[in-house]
Structure 1
Amino acid sequence: MSTVIEQPVEARLVAAAPRMPSIPATLHYDRSDPFAVRMTFPAPATLEGVEVCWTFARELFVTGMDEAVGHGDVRVRPYGYDRLVLEFHAPEGTAVVHVRTGEVRRFLDRTTDLVPLGLEHHQVDLDHDLAELMRDAC
């Protein structure tokens, strides 16, 4: 079984214009970083013209499926029957996107098959990580 899950999703950028353009994004989960999820937007979909990747807690997605969650740079909340709203806050501004709940649910199901919720700590080798830190400090 692979230790990395990648899933393309369709995101809709919420803007002042009446049309909400569809933009591609990729959800990414790696067993070696079991608490985190990454969402990547390709360069053509960003104002800066470079790929943008947001990393946030998998638990944020899990909780955001049912209720508004997040107080920092990333916030998630359900919207209607089959949408999630994701807000990405940065010094340059805020991006708000809608994604289909079903796509996120499929992604989360795959991540929990790989690493069950609540058992993420079994994937982290603290002794090894501490030894690496100490080796570099000497």
Structure 2
Amino acid sequence: MSTVIEQTVEARLVAAAPRMPSIPATLHYDRCDPFAVRMTFPAPATLEGVEVCWTFSRELLSAGIEEPQGHGDVRVRPYGYDRTVMEFHAPEGTAVVHVRTGELRRFLKAADELVPAGLEHLQLDLDHGLAELMRDAC
């Protein structure tokens, strides 16, 4: 069984221009980091011209498609019947994208099949992690 899920989604950049361009973004979930989701935007879609990856909690994404969530760098909220708004705040500015809610639900369902929500802690080897921290402390 695979330990990683990747799904490409179509994100529509909200900009000052009347037409919102589509951006292919990739959602990534790894059983080895069970609480996190990564969303990667390709280099041509960024101001710096380099690939940008945001990491945020799976719980934020799951709750954000139902009602507004987040107070930090990543914020998620429903928008209309079939869209979810994702805001990414950085010192350089804020990117706001719309993603089809159905695509996000499909991704979250696959992640839930890999690691059921609420059981993420069972994927962590806390003893090994603590041993690594203590090794460096001596």
Name the TM-score, length of structure 1 as normaliser.
Answer: 0.98
**Per-residue deviation at 1:133?**
1.3
Match of 2:57 in 1: 57
Match of 1:3 in 2: 3
Aligned pairs, how many?
A: 138
Query: Which amino acid letter does the alignment assign opposite residue 49 of structure 1?
Result: G
Query: Which amino acid letter does the alignment assign opposite residue 10 of structure 1?
Result: E
**Per-residue deviation at 1:50?**
0.5
Q: In 2, Cα distance between the equivalents of 1:84 and 1:102?
A: 9
Q: In 2, Cα distance between the equivalents of 1:107 and 1:9?
A: 9
Other structure's SS at 2:16 match: coil
**% identity of equivalent residues:** 84
Q: In 2, Cα distance between the equivalents of 1:42 and 1:7?
A: 14
Match of 1:27 in 2: 27
Query: Which amino acid letter does the alignment assign opposite residue 135 of structure 1?
Result: R
Other structure's SS at 2:117 match: coil
Match of 2:129 in 1: 129
Q: In 1, Cα distance between the equivalents of 2:45 and 2:16?
A: 16
Other structure's SS at 1:135 match: helix
Q: In 2, Cα distance between the equivalents of 1:92 and 1:85?
A: 19
Other structure's SS at 2:135 match: helix
**Per-residue deviation at 1:17?**
0.3
Q: In 2, Cα distance between the equivalents of 1:117 and 1:71?
A: 22
Other structure's SS at 1:98 match: strand
Match of 1:109 in 2: 109
Q: Where in structure 2 are there 5+ consecutive unaligned residues? A: none
